[in-house]
A and B are shown apart, each in its own frame.
Chain A
Amino acid sequence: MTALARALHVLRLVCASFTGATGLAIVSVVLAAALFAPWVATVDPDRLDVMNRFAAPSFAHWLGTDHLGRDLYSRLVHGATVAMSVALAAIAIALCLGTLLGILAAYLPARLERFVLIVFDVISSFPSMVLALAVVAVFGPSALIVVIIVAITLTPHFGRVARAQVLTLKSAPFLEAERILGASFPRIVAHHVLPNILGPLVILASMDIPVVITIEAGLSFLGLGVRPPLASWGTLIQDGYQFLSDSWVPVVVSSLALAFATLGFTLFGEALRDAVDPRIRREP
């Protein structure tokens, strides 16, 4: 089966289940909003109109305005872009770094392997809030810093899974055969190891996207999120939370957006894993 045919087959399996189809639909909507934000949004999300704060939903402002009179709907749409960029960037970095370290760990001699694992555990056990606060205190808050912090925090996760995958793979006969035939180490890794472990890792990554967005919301709550006036779902929730008594619309709407996006990615990720994992019993 070619790679494309296999991907399509997996996709079909995903759509076959109700949850998978829903997940895919939601993910598509979110990604579309993120990619085409300037066209999906109605007005400039940064335009202030302080005299018109907390306006009710109207034709001009589909979801009303926030505490500075900015259009909530447009900020929500642009928030999707920020949320997606931050999440995908952070996960991509963590995935690459983690996979690399995981593979190395699986092939390195025992001492060095132990060192890598200890580094993973140090990062896992270190309170992420301390890391976030320290990094922000040094470099100032920004989307890039959020990406770096999250990437560092997620790397051990991917690293360990990658290593576990490689270990189970290592004993496979075909790898032994390649080695005996004289294939070089990079070639083995690139052509045989990576394709086999990348699948589960990517699925794991898709399920981590909502985690990243939630972390970003938490950082915004502590004042460590992206730089104003950039809109991210985290800052929207935080702003809405501050002014909850003036209007419940901002916080509810942004929380719902976050919840739906998370729902979509998690369902899609699970359906993906169900479709790929041969051990799950499928209904005929």
Chain B
Amino acid sequence: MSGAGETRTDELMRYVGSRLLTTVLIVVGAMLLLFALSAVVPGDPATTLLGPQATPELSRRFIADMGLDQPLPTRLWRFFANAATGNLGTDVISGRAVAGLIREVIPYTLILTFSAIGLAVAIGVPLGVFAATHRGSVLDHVLAFVSVAFIAVPSFVIAIFLLLIFAIWLDWLPVLGASRTGALADEFKRMILPTLALALGWIGFIARLVRASMLEVLGEPYIRTSRAYGLSNRLVTYKYALKNACIPTITILGMGIGRLLGGAVLVEIVFARPGLGRLIYSAISERNYPVVQGAVLVVVVLFVVVNLIVDLGYSAIDPRIRHDSPDHGASG
């Protein structure tokens, strides 16, 4: 609650400070969960990779290398102490620095995520607006079916059908989602299908969301009053209704970006494309915990930072939100 005489800046600073604290606690909490899980999951890198070649001593040595024989608080403390200096640990199998591995892989993930979200917004928002302003029309119903179909079908199925249509039947685009040579044009071309596979589901989702939020506003009395007073339909639609649709959409986008950063595994596997999701997946399968820890930290930090920006962004738009509670948190 704002005290008497507190300026808007003070209030904003308090809010930011409080949110930052929460962010730190979230990151610590997530890593605590991960460390707890890694203590109970059976298996070690030696057994998983080397198979029968792995002797019990070798397994024990890997476990000791990863610090898994240490108590949980020690591991947590050491991990964060190292992370603060930029040392995310050492890949226990190849001996490389985890930070280096992640740095190699992260451009692929970031580009894919933001392109997919960007494409989803670019197509989904206009579709949602159209469906809201033409409510009940045939096109609205068709869009309903199509967008839900995109949400429903799993991303790897969409991916395989995209590949079959565009890479094999039409032969317009390549199959493999990453370039061997690193040439920009080639990378771009190979990015198209994976982006599309990820974006389609989000397009459907955003379209439905925008439509629903706009319809909420369009039904409000003040809209009808404004229209009665002669404000143009277009102004009403775009200024008020769309603005109302922004907030939940941005929230969802914030969560979506965070999810995609760590979770586009299926698409990455189908398109043989490097990414954080695939790195985490293979590292867990190998029980290569340092890599898992480093990568999960990066994913969690990116997720909370993105959501923090989103929250701060619309708390600037809508001051009411700040007064609600100790911490808003990513809603919806």
Contacts and interface: CB of A to CB of B under 8 A. Distances in A.
Interface string A253-273: 001001101110011001001
Nearest to A127: B262
Interface stretch (B22-30, B107-115, B174-182): B22-30
Nearest to B331: A160
Interface string A122-153: 10111111110111011000000000000000
A117 B300 contact: no
Nearest to B164: A244
Interface string B288-312: 0000100010011001100100000
Identify whether the interface residues of B are mostly helix, strand, loop, or mixed: helix
A135 B155 CA distance: 23
B63 interface: no
Interface stretch (B89-97, B230-238, B279-287): B279-287
B99 interface: no
Nearest to B281: A129
A241 interface: yes
Contacts of A237: 154, 157
Contact of A263 (B149, B219, B330): B149
Interface residues on B, range: 35 or more
Interface string A203-222: 00000001001100110011
A219 to B, nearest CB: 10
A125 B26 contact: yes
B145 A222 contact: no
A177 interface: no
B16 interface: no
B216 A263 contact: no
B29 A266 contact: no
Contacts of B277: 127, 129
A218 B155 contact: yes
Contacts of A241: 156-157, 160
A110 B218 contact: no
Interface stretch (A51-59, A72-80, A191-199, A276-284): A276-284
Contact of A121 (B156, B212, B284, B304): B304
Given A125-B258, A237-B157, A263-B149, A133 B329 contact: no
A210 B141 contact: no
Contacts of A258: 152-154
A17 B26 CA distance: 44
Contacts, number: 167
B208 A118 contact: no
Interface in B165-217: 208, 212, 215-216
A210 B300 contact: no
B33 interface: yes
A242 to B, nearest CB: 11
B209 to A, nearest CB: 11
Interface stretch (B37-45, B53-61, B68-76, B116-124): B37-45
Interface string B212-229: 100110111000000000
A174 interface: no
Nearest to B150: A259
B102 interface: no
B126 interface: no
A279 B43 CA distance: 55
A241 B269 CA distance: 13
B325 interface: yes
Contact of B215 (A121, A213, A281): A281
A241 B280 CA distance: 23
Contacts of B307: 125
A277 B262 CA distance: 35
A263 B147 CA distance: 9
Given A18-B141, A127-B296, A218 B332 contact: no
A134 B284 contact: yes
Contacts of A262: 148-149, 151-153
Contacts of A217: 154, 157
A128 B255 CA distance: 13
13 contacts: A117-B327, A122-B29, A125-B30, A126-B296, A129-B265, A130-B292, A134-B38, A161-B332, A255-B154, A263-B152, A267-B148, A280-B216, A281-B219
Given A122-B33, A218-B154, A262-B148, 10 more contacts: A118-B25, A125-B26, A126-B296, A167-B324, A237-B157, A241-B156, A255-B153, A263-B152, A270-B144, A277-B216
Interface of A: 17-19, 110, 113-114, 117-122, 124-131, 133-135, 137-138, 157, 160-161, 164, 167, 210, 213-214, 217-218, 221-222, 234, 237, 241, 244, 251, 255, 258-259, 261-263, 266-267, 270, 273-274, 277, 279-283
The 6 closest A-B pairs by CB, nearest first: A262-B152, A281-B219, A122-B29, A127-B262, A134-B37, A217-B154
